[in-house]
Amino acid sequence: MPNDPRRPSQPAIPFDVEILANPTQDELRALAFEHAPFCLRTAMGSLDKIARNKARMARYTYVIDRGTWTGGYSHKTIEPEKAQALIDAQAAYVRAKGKLIAIEGYVGLGPRAMPVQWLYTLEGANIAGMQQVLAFPREAVETDAERAEPFRPALRLVYTPDFRPDMPGGQAIVVDLDHFVTYVMGPDYFGESKKGALRMLAAWVYANGGLLMHAGAKEIRHGGDDRLTMGILGLSGTGKTTTTFSKQGDAALPIQDDMIAIWPKGEISVTENGCFAKTFGLAEQTEPVIYRGTMSPSSWLENVYLDETGRPAFSKTTLSPTDVARLREILVGTGAPAENVDAYVAGKVQIEDVMEGTVPKDGWDFVCWTENGRSIIPLSALDEAADLEDLPPLRSLGILNRDEGPDAATPGIVRFVSPEQAAGYLMLGETSKTSAAGKERGKTRSPFTQPFFPYAHKLQARRFSELAATFPSDIVMWMMNTGFVGGDARAVEAGEALKVKIRHSSAMLEALIAGRIQWKRDPDFGYEIVDADHPANAALVEAVGAEILEPRRFFEARGRMEIYRDWVRRMKAERAAFLRDFGVDEAIVAAVVPS
């Protein structure tokens, strides 16, 4: 039951087929090259899968509603009879295929670790290999005596990438929270496997008094032997992984890049044994840990552009006719219209003919390579990481807002003045839409940046407020802008905007961690911002710039204060409306939108 805190238990595998139990990574790569379409071998010896899907498909995700949970859902729901018909059709497909790959491992470590069984038909061998990387093996959690017994999963996921159900988009992710099983039909994107288990884990964590958060985490050594955990929330593309793995002197070690659970008194538990990183723009100079991990032969790649030598080109955007000709089979096989591909290769259509600004017209997406390329990296392939068996309590928690556009005015770094204010901004989950969000651009809001929480989102704000009341009194909660001030990349090139660079983010976090910042109250929103005039902040101002730390100065200096004042008015109105739409407590609304 969704509100039952006891650990669930799965019955025996319900398919009379051959089970390939826990193949090695080498075996999974061999299976992927044989059975999964459009897998490329990289120059490093790793595998790069070019998938039909370029992101998770929330619109094709359905929770079975049997009336057992009355608190509301954040996902679409589906009637039990319709769900069962889909599950039965998937089962028939599995029986016809005759084989399943079984990956058995844990989400998390220690007493809160959750045993999971992932089942894939052979065309999902690459997804199985990626999932095995992120799962903790049995030997990391179980005793020798427990490993001598058959594996006892609490959660199960059944994944059939090439079974296309009679549903919108030919895809359906059916979530059974009553029995903790997820059925993935049609998508070929790894994120649906990763998300499937984590969504069920979110339900179990909530039932047990915690909250699963879409957050990276790093261990901070804070003077002497003092250690703390910093949690970092952020939607895809805001820089969560980059921030997690960036260095602040020698004081930081990565813990997790994507998901942690928080519990009373600031206890945290981890979820994954590796890293799921965005690769667009990846460079060794700016992100050395992620770059070297991605280039390791033990990593897996997804939707990463490879040049003719098999080496990743992480900043590839538009494709030339020569590029498209070389990749024709893959592009057509993953959904590009053959007639459009051939017209482009033949020179009958030019790229400027099929673009609307920076976005391709319908049917011409193939001329722009997705910016949502990913690498799945084992923790062992990263240069250094924290000891996941011995984690300090949470004492710093922040959210990343990748602001963008002519009215981008989020300060470089903000300190929240109360748990209510922090809860409000976490509930807003505010940023600008990224490549992972599709073609639409502009501001977006997603409660707690959380695509995994299956229940009504107001429950997240309520639970976070309950947990925050138990946190240590010295916990620091903050927000950081990882995008722009006053524009976008093109405006920066024209000298009309500022970019918040990785080195700026590192400098701001280093100063925050060290407690060196002198703050002042922002007159519009009531949170605290860096006092750029205080002598104690001189080094930070030199490293980052006063106009990033206090964007009001940027707009004042350029005679654009009306844009800034309109941004303030609009943000207050939109934020209040968003929070009230979710039924958030008025004390939280008042903390976010002070009178």
Which sequence spans correspond to the domains of the chain?
Answer: 18-208, 212-289+382-592, 300-374
- Quote the tokens at residue 100: 């399943």
Per-residue pLDDT in tens (0 to 9) along the chain, 595 residues: 334 567 899 999 999 999 999 999 999 999 999 999 999 999 999 999 999 999 988 999 999 999 999 999 999 999 999 999 999 999 999 999 999 999 999 999 999 999 999 999 999 999 999 999 999 999 999 999 999 999 999 999 999 999 999 999 999 999 999 999 999 999 999 999 999 999 999 999 999 999 999 999 999 876 666 788 999 998 877 888 888 887 765 668 889 988 999 999 999 999 999 999 999 999 999 889 899 999 999 999 999 999 999 999 999 999 999 999 999 999 999 999 999 999 999 999 999 999 998 889 999 999 999 999 999 999 888 877 888 988 888 999 999 999 999 999 999 999 999 989 999 999 999 988 554 444 444 678 999 988 789 999 989 988 998 999 899 888 999 999 999 999 999 999 999 999 999 999 999 998 998 889 999 999 999 999 999 999 999 999 999 999 999 999 999 999 999 999 999 999 999 999 999 999 988 999 999 999 8
The β-bridge relationship of strands 18-21 and 99-107 is parallel
Q: Are 290 and 277 in contact (CB under 8 A)?
A: yes
Instruction: Evaluate if pTM is beyond 0.95.
Output: no
| pLDDT in the model for residue 434 | 52
- Quote the tokens at residue 565: 């004042």
Q: Between 125-134 and 191-207, two packed helices, what is the crossing angle to 10 degrees?
A: 40
- Quote the tokens at residue 141: 């959690």
| pLDDT in the model for residue 34 | 98
**SS3 (DSSP) at 156:** strand
In whole angstroms, how large is the CA radius of gyration of the chain? 24
Residue type, position 388, single letter: L
Cα–Cα nearest to 464, from 233, 177, 227: 233
Q: H helices of 518-560, where?
A: 538-544, 546-549, 551-557
Residue type, position 376, single letter: I
- Quote the tokens at residue 535: 């002598």
Cα distances (Å, whole numbers) of residue 421 to 182, 528, 570? 35, 11, 18
- Quote the tokens at residue 146: 């427990």
Q: What is the DSSP string of 258-273?
A: S-EEE-GGG-EEE--S
- Quote the tokens at residue 481: 């802008």
Rounded Cα–Cα distance for residues 32 and 34 (Å): 5
Say which CATH architecture domain 212-289+382-592 belongs to. Alpha-Beta Complex (3.90)
Q: Are 25 and 33 in contact (CB under 8 A)?
A: no
Rounded Cα–Cα distance for residues 520 and 518 (Å): 7
The β-bridge relationship of strands 252-256 and 300-302 is unpaired
- Quote the tokens at residue 327: 């990749």
Rounded Cα–Cα distance for residues 566 and 562 (Å): 6
Instruction: Specify the CATH number for 18-208; select among 3.40.50.80, 3.40.449.10, 3.30.70.990, 3.30.530.20.
Output: 3.40.449.10
Q: Between 419-428 and 561-581, two packed helices, what is the crossing angle to 10 degrees?
A: 90
Per DSSP (E only), the strands in 60-122 are: 61-64, 76-78, 99-107, 114-120
Residues 6+ apart with CB under 8 A from 531: 518, 519, 520, 537
- Would you say the C-alpha torsion 134, 267, 414, 570 has a positive or negative sign? positive
Q: Are 11 and 118 in contact (CB under 8 A)?
A: no
Rounded Cα–Cα distance for residues 523 and 364 (Å): 47
